[in-house]
Amino acid sequence: MSEHAHKLKAPDPARAHGAWVYLVISILAGVLTSARFDMSTAFFAGVAFLGVFVCASSFANPAARKWGRFAVGCAIIVACVVAGIATGADPMFLAYSAIAVFPAGASAFFALRHGFQSGPALAFAVVALVVAAPASACAGGAPHHLGLILLGLLAPFFAWRTWCTRQALRSRSGWTRKELKSLGWREAALAFGWTALALTVVHVVGARH
């Protein structure tokens, strides 16, 4: 297989456990940031981002597009956006989709140049997922500056841990299933721990304003 063909062979993002962990944690962080406002609308916005992820994953491999998954993702997006707005979500949460375009575009750029498993491609992809946090917080009525603080705390850390995990996996071959599971649990614990710290900072800042 040529090097160019190897670069274009994309894995299925929906099968990446790490991506789901970071996405779910980001949604949870956004919902908890809006705890003093409206958590239900924050939840709808977060799940809408999950729908976007499902849609994007259906086109990850141009040679095997999954139209059924795409339809499910679109249904989730429409249902959650309508439900969120109907329950009083701040429509500005939709603007965060535009913010997510930039890291997503950067991820695609590095994926095409260096492969989908390259460090920059994975790191920027994770940043695009983390945008779900401020979007959810905004929809729930939290001030925009709290959402941006949350994004600023979570995105660099998650991108860094993604890079470190990639380096660890590439450092040697022959990883066993038990070792991979242990690595996954460790990274999930680090992500939850850092998110708890970030939420503490956000709530302290919010209490002062």
What is the per-residue pLDDT across 184-196, written as a single tens digit (0 to 9) for each? 999 999 999 999 9
Alpha carbon distance 52, 46 (integer Å): 10
Rg (CA), the chain: 17
Q: What pTM value is reported for the model? A: 0.85
Q: Which two tokens stand for residue 17?
A: 């456990």
Helix extents (H) in the chain: 3-8, 17-33, 39-57, 67-86, 96-114, 119-130, 132-139, 144-171, 177-207
Phi, psi (deg, nearest 5) at residue 207 = -70, -20
Question: What one-character DSSP code corresponds to residue 116?
Answer: T
Provide CB contacts within 8 A for 118, sequence distance 6+: 110, 111
Alpha carbon distance 164, 170 (integer Å): 10
pLDDT(14) > 80: no
Range in 57-66, 125-134, 160-169, 185-194 the model is least confident about: 57-66
pLDDT, one tens digit per residue, over 52-92 is 888 877 776 666 677 888 899 899 989 988 888 888 877 77
Cβ distance 38 to 140 under 8 Å? yes
